[in-house]
Amino acid sequence: MRYKKTHLAGCVILNNKGEILLLHRNTSIRKQWETPGGKLEKGENHRIAAKREIKEEIGTKIDIIKKLGKKDFIENEYLMTYTWYLAKIISGKLNIMEKDKFDEMKYFNWNELKKIKHKLSLNTKNLLEAYLAGEIKI
């Protein structure tokens, strides 16, 4: 089967306890916890897309600290390549901006993520597995 290809980018944002910020998508199609981020728009690079998506989804401006890595996954006939960045909030107050898509935002520690793995998006599962395997360093 030939898959359509798409590129996505998003951010790992940690609080002062080292917990990761996730959004809860609650739509008729998906109910899952996921990292803030999304698809690249025409002409965008991954870093610009990650910054734009953060602003659109949680209403804050960020500084990207470093690229953490990337991983492919298949969903709905798409081969998706997701690039993760470590970022810190530099201005704005955390707020769910797309209330039609997301109903909750919460920080989780990595052990909590292992316990709710079945409730994570494919991308966030990949991030968790890469972190636990030592493939990404935060």
pLDDT digits (tens, 9 = 90+) for 27-74: 999 999 999 999 999 999 999 999 999 999 999 999 999 999 999 999
| pLDDT at 76 > cutoff 90 | no
Q: % helix / strand / coil in the chain, to the nearest 5?
A: 25, 45, 30
- Cβ atoms < 10 Å from Cβ of 115: 10
pTM of the model: 0.94
pLDDT, averaged across the chain: 96
pLDDT at 27: 96
pLDDT at 2: 86
The answer to whether 31 and 25 have CB atoms below 8 angstroms apart is yes
| pLDDT at 110 > cutoff 90 | yes
Distance separating alpha carbons of residues 85 and 70, to the nearest angstrom: 9
Under 8 Å CB-to-CB from 19, ≥6 apart: which residues?
107, 108, 109
State which fold the 4-132 domain adopts.
Answer: Nucleoside Triphosphate Pyrophosphohydrolase (3.90.79)
